[in-house]
Structure 1
């Protein structure tokens, strides 16, 4: 299967179309900044057409048997599996991740549809005892209605599937607005799953700018619910524009990796390096700041430099390359700014430290290890989203806990220790939705709940398995009087 992109990238009511005005935007590969196709640059009116199509389709889809919905999702998974190689090649070309990581992501997308097909059959309610002996009370799940889904560019296949699969399984109709820098892979994914012959209008894709298309589908009264993965500033805007609607928001992270003095050094180094450099560090659960006990700091830093030296930076289409370019100029500029800020504040570049030279575009950044990073640095305070391992020295468990809470994020953390008591202390006290013990901060599986801690800015609700299905469904209560 091959894909061509001539500007007809909107999928509405089961039909492919362009923007009525003819507006398109060129897509550039981060590998070499060359054009790879054109997407429709859609208007609010086109977004409204998609909303109308979703509303026309949703009621019938919501009445469809769960078993029939599950069968459709399995057909979608089968189509993804059969098109895995061309999808992987396009994902690498447009997003920039190594081909091996692209294949993994496509495989997980197929798994996501199969998982939703499995779990929706067991989305069970309850019968509830009552004080009144003449009453019987039961709960069950109903679709929320029409879902607006907005997704980012770092995992432009698997993150959408985290909403599309459970959303469709639960009986919702969806309007999907993908990030513009990965709109072509979104188009290809939609083309593939449309081969499973879903009812027209239950899945609609509209490409274009977030402030136009995204804002319209979020704020329009024709949508009942919103799913979004992306940055905190955008999440705040969406939360305000979608006030009163059900919201499932997975936002930014800068969770700490905490390496205590009794850690297994080999395990801690390998897992931390993976968390720093996979997908060029463009993961919301990346190991973006590493708090290392002073007793093992020097040995850990030396080993991290060795791991950075093993990274093969280059054209991600090559099988031997393990890290490709950053996805877009904005993220590349932010990574450089954060690293420069740390260096100006007294950190030392132990490996890398800036953009790579001699590669086909200016989006390649060296795998970087910085020593003695200050807690006042942007690397510690903000989400960097790049291949950087900032090492922050801590003297005690208490200092590690204090440093862990330096910023407003609360998504994922890791702690490395051989002491189960210390591990449980950090699990219970670190303010994060997930705390991984003796593993990379990036560890997650599709059925595990994923989301931010209360009081932090990393989101609302949980994605993953049955948690997504519950979040994307309305819990209905029915009461009966008997006798």
Structure 2
């Protein structure tokens, strides 16, 4: 029998007022219902916000080391349950096991990191101009944080929003993505067991049009953090700023890897394949454009096609690349395959649905060549295992093409030329820039965010920058 999971509000596991549920199915086998979750209403979301508002003062007054101790205990509980969390993530989202296990470990590491940082949030002391005066700056929590998180990293992204918010002393309401909410429910269970006070964390599952909308517009929420598509993110940004909220959005990408004339084609193909086909291309930092110097273009294409054709596709539990998360995502990717061919790009490999894999949402790793810079396949986010290869005559053209999109999240270059590498770092219009590395993969202790349509360009996530978003500064003049 399929388990039905409840919302977590004010320290209690509760059902929605509507008595409606959402079935989450296995994307590798859509006939399998993994778990049922609450299809919550705006009223449920409002109840959660009320609980968070009631709990915020006591949690804000809790000493930072004590808050950190709770986060550390929760991290240890997640570590004990790593295997089952990995299985749940695979079943709901479809990731290959090594990717799913790595993502769960990332969440554990984030909890440990911010557990330590919680003790360092007192503020700073400055020298005063007048005698007999203490001059110092206090860092205080902003209040109630509303978090709206995506399905593609269903535990890592919620963790890197939730842990700093709690470490800084904020209470939280969170709406996980309806396609894969299970691991967020399990994070809440770990925090409850770790001793988090009632009302400090509230989890409500359901549609963004009801739950997310209430979180953003409710007068008792103070900050909003959203990760998702650029189209929805812009609406969230406008809605939150109109309501006077502090807002942070991390959105889409059209991430390039520039392959220099000095690059080894085999090494470059390894980097692009890992960045483009890893996580089934369902990453905001995935490489979707390989911008290749004409001197190495043919060899690079041959190497990349070979890697695409040798990837083992199937259910994420025991294959190298799993399915896309839903029928809509698969169909969107296949639609872009048709668009690219209609615009004149050459399908070098892939582009279809693998045979003998049943009704799962699988798409073959796909490579397009003869791609022009103004084609949709080179301008729009696909969010599937598709890499467009563009040929350029020199570094200058490669840099221009790399920057010539509306997005600016992650960018990389493969080169043995140090001057090119330095120029790319300085001139690439992206929030994350890498040299001789894939576009995906992030350290947890440094800022993450994008330029242009990839971000609101307001606040960064992760590391100290993540804590900055959830704190506000108060300057104190103490004339003793």
CA offset at residue 247 of structure 1? Answer: 1.3
Instruction: Select between 43-52 and 193-202 the one with higher mean Cα deviation.
Output: 193-202
Candidates 425, 428, 433, aligned match of 2:426: 428
CA offset at residue 444 of structure 1? Answer: 1.3
Pairs within 5 Å for 1:398-413: 398-413=396-411
Q: Supply the distance in 2 between the matched residues of 1:458 and 1:174 (Cα, whole angstroms).
A: 22
Task: Name the counterpart of 2:97.
Answer: 99
Deviations 1:133-168 (A, max 9, x none): 676432121001100000000010111001111110
Candidates 228, 231, 234, aligned match of 2:232: 234
Candidates 8, 25, 30, aligned match of 2:27: 30
Instruction: Select between 66-75 and 247-256 the one with higher mean Cα deviation.
Output: 247-256
Normalised to the residue count of structure 2, the TM-score between the two structures is 0.96
Secondary structure at the aligned position of 2:262 is classed as coil
Deviations 1:148-190 (A, max 9, x none): 0000000101110011111100001110101110123322332
Paired residues of 2:178 and 2:206 also in contact (CA < 8 A): yes
Task: Name the counterpart of 2:364.
Answer: 366
Pairs within 5 Å for 1:79-158: 79-123=77-121, 125-129=123-127, 136-158=134-156
Aligned residues between the structures? 476
Task: Name the counterpart of 1:379.
Answer: 377
Q: Supply the distance in 1 between the matched residues of 2:408 and 2:132 (Cα, whole angstroms).
A: 46
Q: Supply the distance in 2 between the matched residues of 1:190 and 1:475 (Cα, whole angstroms).
A: 29
Instruction: Select between 214-223 and 399-408 the one with higher mean Cα deviation.
Output: 399-408
CA offset at residue 128 of structure 1? Answer: 3.6
Instruction: Select between 208-217 and 394-403 the one with higher mean Cα deviation.
Output: 394-403
Secondary structure at the aligned position of 2:440 is classed as coil
CA offset at residue 257 of structure 1? Answer: 0.8
Paired residues of 1:413 and 1:434 also in contact (CA < 8 A): yes
Task: Name the counterpart of 2:50.
Answer: 52
For the structure 1 residues 399 and 69, does the alpha-carbon distance in structure 2 shift closer, same or farther, using more than 3 Å as the test? same
CA offset at residue 5 of structure 1? Answer: 2.9
CA offset at residue 458 of structure 1? Answer: 2.8
Q: Supply the distance in 2 between the matched residues of 1:117 and 1:463 (Cα, whole angstroms).
A: 16
Secondary structure at the aligned position of 2:111 is classed as helix
Instruction: Select between 109-118 and 360-369 the one with higher mean Cα deviation.
Output: 360-369
Pairs within 5 Å for 1:232-311: 232-243=230-241, 244-311=244-311
CA offset at residue 132 of structure 1? Answer: 5.6
Is 1:19 equivalent to 2:16 in the alignment?
A: yes
Secondary structure at the aligned position of 1:33 is classed as strand
Paired residues of 2:250 and 2:454 also in contact (CA < 8 A): no
For the structure 1 residues 138 and 264, does the alpha-carbon distance in structure 2 shift closer, same or farther, using more than 3 Å as the test? farther
Deviations 1:408-460 (A, max 9, x none): 1111100111111111111111110011011000131111211012x444333
Secondary structure at the aligned position of 2:408 is classed as coil
Q: Supply the distance in 1 between the matched residues of 2:441 and 2:97 (Cα, whole angstroms).
A: 20
Q: Supply the distance in 2 between the matched residues of 1:187 and 1:250 (Cα, whole angstroms).
A: 22
* Structure 2 alignment gaps of length 5 or more: none
Secondary structure at the aligned position of 2:181 is classed as helix
Paired residues of 1:80 and 1:193 also in contact (CA < 8 A): no
Q: Supply the distance in 1 between the matched residues of 2:98 and 2:48 (Cα, whole angstroms).
A: 35
Deviations 1:91-131 (A, max 9, x none): 00000011221111111111010010112223353334455
Q: Supply the distance in 2 between the matched residues of 1:242 and 1:309 (Cα, whole angstroms).
A: 45
Paired residues of 2:18 and 2:39 also in contact (CA < 8 A): no
Q: Supply the distance in 2 between the matched residues of 1:395 and 1:133 (Cα, whole angstroms).
A: 66
For the structure 1 residues 266 and 121, does the alpha-carbon distance in structure 2 shift closer, same or farther, using more than 3 Å as the test? farther
CA offset at residue 478 of structure 1? Answer: 1.6
Pairs within 5 Å for 1:177-192: 177-192=175-190
Normalised to the residue count of structure 1, the TM-score between the two structures is 0.95
Secondary structure at the aligned position of 1:340 is classed as helix
Deviations 1:198-221 (A, max 9, x none): 101111100000010001001111
Instruction: Select between 336-345 and 95-104 the one with higher mean Cα deviation.
Output: 336-345
Q: Supply the distance in 2 between the matched residues of 1:122 and 1:391 (Cα, whole angstroms).
A: 47
Q: Supply the distance in 2 between the matched residues of 1:342 and 1:285 (Cα, whole angstroms).
A: 21
